[in-house]
Chain A
Amino acid sequence: EVVLTQSPGTLSLSPGERATLSCRASQSVSSNDLIWFQQKPGQAPRLLIYGASSRATGIPDRFSGSGSGTDFTLTISRLEPEDFAVYYCQQDGNSPNAFGPGTKVDIK
């Protein structure tokens, strides 16, 4: 069973700054199976990145994903006010398709 850890737990940044979020897997994950979601309070999650690096439809190009094997990264190049939220990684290859615990990006 693959366990995902995310760091940091909370990232306090100002609008315009760069955010770098890490997702580490307990064993190698196919890049095809690594996903990133964004969730805002009171809302369902929204797909941001699939296949480790493919942006979902309608996602701005300030969001990018990278990585392979056990180490994956979500980068937000310049934070906009609407980007302050919780971000989850997930592997949806072999079951169970666990989520990471999340990284909260909040306003400094």
Chain B
Amino acid sequence: EVQLVESGGGLVKPGGSLRLSCAASGFTFSNAWMIWVRQAPGKGLEWVGRIKRKVDGGTTDYAAPVRGRFTISRNDSENTLYLQMNNLRTEDTAVYYCTAPLWIGAVRRDYWGQGTLVTVSS
């Protein structure tokens, strides 16, 4: 069974830092492109960024609002995805989800974690 479990959310002051983790199981993590998505309270989904698998270069892409402040990384030996968030702003308050789009042949299945809440407030 595929599972994604986020952790590391909490309350942080503006300008502060936080690192989120996403523990993956039930699939070959090193083969997956991994994505972070967030959702501010009462708002829509916002793509944060993604990291490709190492065979595809392991490169990262970010949405403009977080570029230069957030860093996505992965530890394939520990099946864990990370989101390092620096210089946090009040507008970064959201539930953060990790998600894995997996392909079995031509069939796509998406898996999402339960989300972790980050609150940026003084």
Contacts and interface: CB of A to CB of B under 8 A. Distances in A.
A69 to B, nearest CB: 21
B109 A96 contact: no
Contacts of A56: 108-110
Nearest to B95: A44
Main secondary structure of the interface of B (DSSP, over half): strand
B45 A102 contact: yes
Given A44-B115, A92-B101, A96-B62, A50 B46 contact: no
Contacts of B35: 97
A96 B48 CA distance: 8
Q: Range of interface residues on chain A?
A: 20 to 34
B91 interface: no
Contacts, number: 54
Nearest to B103: A50
A85 interface: no
Interface SS majority for chain A: loop
- A39, A50, A96 — most chain B CB neighbours (10 Å): A96
Interface of B: 35, 37, 44-47, 49-50, 61-64, 97, 99, 101, 107-110, 112-115
Interface of A: 1, 37, 39, 44-47, 50-51, 54, 56-57, 86, 88, 90, 92, 95-102
